[in-house]
Structures are given as C-alpha cells and as structure tokens.
Amino acid sequence: MKSSYAAPVDDFLTAIEDAAVTRCDAWANDCLLDATVPNRRFRRRGADEIRAVYAEWFAHPNTLVGVRRWPIPEGEIIEYVHRFTGPEGPREAHHLHVLEVADGRIVADTVFCGGQWSDAQRAEMDGA
C-alpha cells in the first residue's frame, strides 16, 4: 500500500535506479540527512548537500532488489538492496531509510548502510 507521501519517495527510488540523483527534486531545501555507514556517522543539510552525497553513492545505474516500503504517519520507511557495476566491478549494498515528508518533499532522511560488497564478499556471507 502506497502512502500519501509516495511521490517524492518514488522519485528518489527512480533516481537511484537511473543514477540521476543530481537531477532529482525529492528533497526540501533544508532537508537533513543523517547517515550511518560502516565505522562512521555523518549529517548533511540541504538538498544540494544530499545530492552530492548520493551522487557518489549512486553514481552508476542500479537494480533495486527486495524493495520494501512501510508507510508511517510522517512519511515512509524503505529498505532495499542496490546492485550496480562500477570501476571495481559488481557491487551490492543494503540500505534502510526513514523518510519524513512534508509539502511533497523529503524533509529528513535517516539512512543506514551496511557498506558495499563485492561478489566475493557476498559469496562469503552467503556461505556463512
């Protein structure tokens, strides 16, 4: 079931798939990104700052696998695995976003990322 906040979330997911986050207009100008990634946590404020982070994370077209979306009163929670091929070869990463939406834009994005995994790392994890 899609939430009433689905439009900017849809735009964000499409931008990830298309490696088009620099052209994505899903974020409010004062949006706060709170990102937890392997061994660190950081914050960025503003749509342009968020686009810059995500332009690095999603620099190549992605296939989203296992997308799950949960509506919450203030927006959506989304989970997915994104697969892409970059200069280091095929990669995969697992993300979970808690997105707050107001006035048709994402106003807060709390994201958890498990890091990027190579095919060899995925095989090792699958075998464990």
pLDDT tens string 46-64: 999 999 999 999 999 999 9
Cα–Cα dist 36/95, whole Å: 10
- For residue range 38-48, what is the model confidence (pLDDT) as tens digits? 999 999 999 99
| Residue for token pair 């004062």 | 30
Q: pLDDT-derived band of residue 125, with 50, 70 and 90 as boundaries?
A: confident
- How many other C-beta atoms are found inside a 10 Å radius of the C-beta of residue 100? 19
Cα–Cα dist 92/86, whole Å: 10
Predicted TM-score (pTM) of the model is: 0.90
- Please determine, for residue 126, whether its predicted confidence score (pLDDT) is greater than 90: no
**Residue 120 has what pLDDT?**
78
Measured CA distances, 40 to 34, 37, 43, 88, 122 (Å): 11, 6, 10, 22, 22
| Residue for token pair 């060899």 | 120
Q: Can you read off the two tokens belonging to residue 18?
A: 């298309």
**Residue 128 has what pLDDT?**
61
